[in-house]
Amino acid sequence: MLFPFPQSGMRPYLETKSPISTMVALWRQSLMQRSSEVNANTPHLALACLVLALGASAAAAQSFQFQIDQSQSNWTYGGTTSFGPIQGNPSNAFQIAGTVDMDLFGGGSPIAMGQITSTKGLVTPDINAKIVTPLGNVSASISNLVLSLSSDLFAVAPGGGFNATISGTVASGTATIVLPFLPVQTVSLAGLQTNPVAVTGLLTHNGASITVTSFISLQVLLDPAAFGGVISGSVDLQGTLVADHTCGAALSASKTTLSVSAGGAQALTLDSCVQNAGDLYLVLGSASGTSPGIPLGPAVLPLNLDTYLDFTLANPNSAFYPGSFGFFDSSGRGSAAIDLGTGVSPNLAGLNLDHAFVIANLTTGIIGASNPVSLALVP
């Protein structure tokens, strides 16, 4: 069998059709056939079985690190003490910056469950407060305050809503209390814990990004013993936590060369995110490099237009490109291959090919493209 590399005499790709219209036509055709195709001799049966399996398979957790959106994560503080209420000095507003680590499980729409495993939330700016007393104001400041939050495993509704229980620990922070006629008290707050609280939130996904939003109210109890028995009370922290994760699209290969005399295959692993579970992917190739690439909506496919790209586009899931067109599994992953077969012409030695994949959502269209991987054909 000869590897069907298009000859130079083929019509240029741009004279026939655009890559976007061709991909849309192929994807639409598959969508129509995936639910009605029952003939075991057709290439669409495996695709239909994959779609059916997605809804029934249990999904493993994927770990994500979200970046906290400081401008949207606005909080306030307050509280009570044995000397009186805690007031802002001058303001009681602050923001949270840092990261949120989450485990997400596919199998829902598309996220079925989630869990906050850790949070590094830096309070900014430092808290400066006052407590008004008949003997004068008590000055209180908390510097370098970092909150670590975690949650139980929670279910995610089809619209992205969730209910969870949040627990917090002060990872670091130093409190300085200046009282009238008494020595300054400086105490580390590290290790103080908050009582578990019930929260509601929303997990939304748009293309290649996931956003978690939740209103949280925490209470940190002040240990009188830590302050020499001088003051007791609690600090209340409440606000909205907003964090974003941008999903990548990574393509990796088992090897970078294939021998035209020996034949063989280059196995491809397609990695995306759990929110892309059930989305379409299509592996394409180019024999003319990766730059400048092809703009496709919000993404740039790092492949150049040529007759080889035309061939990979027209022959998905063929013997040469098994698994090149399909649906991500419930963890947002897929697999494909470039199969050279045997009996390849020795004239193909020296060719350098590149492959990458495009992601398309059934509702929003093309949402991303992967990095390219190279394949050199050697004697």
CATH code of the domain containing 258: 2.60.40.10
For residues 328 and 359, give the distance between their C-alpha atoms in angstroms, rounded to a whole number: 9
Q: Which residue has the higher pLDDT, 284 or 247?
A: 284
In this model, does residue 42 exceed pLDDT 60? no
For residues 214 and 69, give the distance between their C-alpha atoms in angstroms, rounded to a whole number: 12
Strand ranges inside 89-188, DSSP E: 93-106, 111-124, 127-133, 136-151, 154-155, 161-178, 185-188
Q: Which residue has the higher pLDDT, 236 or 25?
A: 236
Tokens, residue 72: 């949207």
**Nearest C-alpha neighbor of 269 from the set 356, 208, 335, 325:** 335
Domain check: are 222 and 268 in the same one?
no
pLDDT at 295: 84
Residue 257 lies in a domain: yes
Mean pLDDT of the 308-325 span: 92
Q: What residues form DSSP beta bridges with 305?
A: none
Domain check: are 253 and 373 in the same one?
yes
pLDDT at 362: 77
Domain check: are 239 and 304 in the same one?
no
Asked if the bond preceding 295 is cis, omega within 30° of 0, the reply is no
Q: What is the span of the domain harbouring residue 150?
A: 61-246
Weakest-pLDDT range from 13-22, 43-52, 97-106, 354-363: 43-52
Q: Which of 212, 246, 280 is the last residue of a domain?
A: 246
Quote the number of domains for the chain. Answer: 2
Residue 282 lies in a domain: yes
Looking up residue 192, the CATH number of its domain turns out to be: 2.40.160
Residue 1 lies in a domain: no
pLDDT at 207: 59
Average pLDDT, the chain: 82
Mean pLDDT of the 77-85 span: 92
Q: pLDDT band at residue 346, thresholds of 50, 70 and 90?
A: confident
Q: Using an 8 Å Cβ cutoff, are 40 and 48 in contact?
A: no
The tens digit of pLDDT for each residue in 212-268 reads 999 999 998 888 887 777 788 999 999 999 999 888 889 999 999 999 999 999 999
In this model, does residue 360 exceed pLDDT 90? no
Residue 6 lies in a domain: no
Residue 4 lies in a domain: no
Domain check: are 121 and 187 in the same one?
yes
Q: pLDDT band at residue 60, thresholds of 50, 70 and 90?
A: low
Residue 2 lies in a domain: no
- Our measurement of the distance from residue 42's CA atom to the centroid of its chain's CA atoms, rounded to an integer in Å, reads 35
Q: Which of 246, 263, 280 is the last residue of a domain?
A: 246
Domain check: are 221 and 321 in the same one?
no
pLDDT at 88: 95
For residues 130 and 136, give the distance between their C-alpha atoms in angstroms, rounded to a whole number: 10
Domain check: are 184 and 52 in the same one?
no
For residues 373 and 353, give the distance between their C-alpha atoms in angstroms, rounded to a whole number: 8
pLDDT at 108: 67
Domain check: are 182 and 281 in the same one?
no
Domain check: are 189 and 70 in the same one?
yes
Q: Using an 8 Å Cβ cutoff, are 215 and 96 in contact?
A: no
pLDDT at 165: 97
Q: What residues form DSSP beta bridges with 49?
A: none
Domain check: are 144 and 253 in the same one?
no
pLDDT at 228: 73
Domain check: are 127 and 204 in the same one?
yes
Q: pLDDT band at residue 344, thresholds of 50, 70 and 90?
A: confident
Name the residue with tokens 């495009």. 358
Tokens, residue 172: 């670091």
In this model, does residue 34 exceed pLDDT 50? no
pTM higher than the cut 0.85: no
Residue 8 lies in a domain: no
The tens digit of pLDDT for each residue in 186-206 reads 899 999 999 899 999 999 876
In this model, does residue 164 exceed pLDDT 90? yes
pLDDT at 231: 83
Q: pLDDT band at residue 24, thresholds of 50, 70 and 90?
A: very low
Domain check: are 69 and 162 in the same one?
yes
For residues 18 and 368, give the distance between their C-alpha atoms in angstroms, rounded to a whole number: 18
Domain check: are 106 and 238 in the same one?
yes
**Nearest C-alpha neighbor of 59 from the set 332, 336, 359, 335:** 332
Residue 19 lies in a domain: yes
Position 299: which residue type?
A
Q: Using an 8 Å Cβ cutoff, are 167 and 196 in contact?
A: yes
For residues 191 and 165, give the distance between their C-alpha atoms in angstroms, rounded to a whole number: 19
pLDDT at 49: 28
Q: Which of 205, 230, 246 is the last residue of a domain?
A: 246
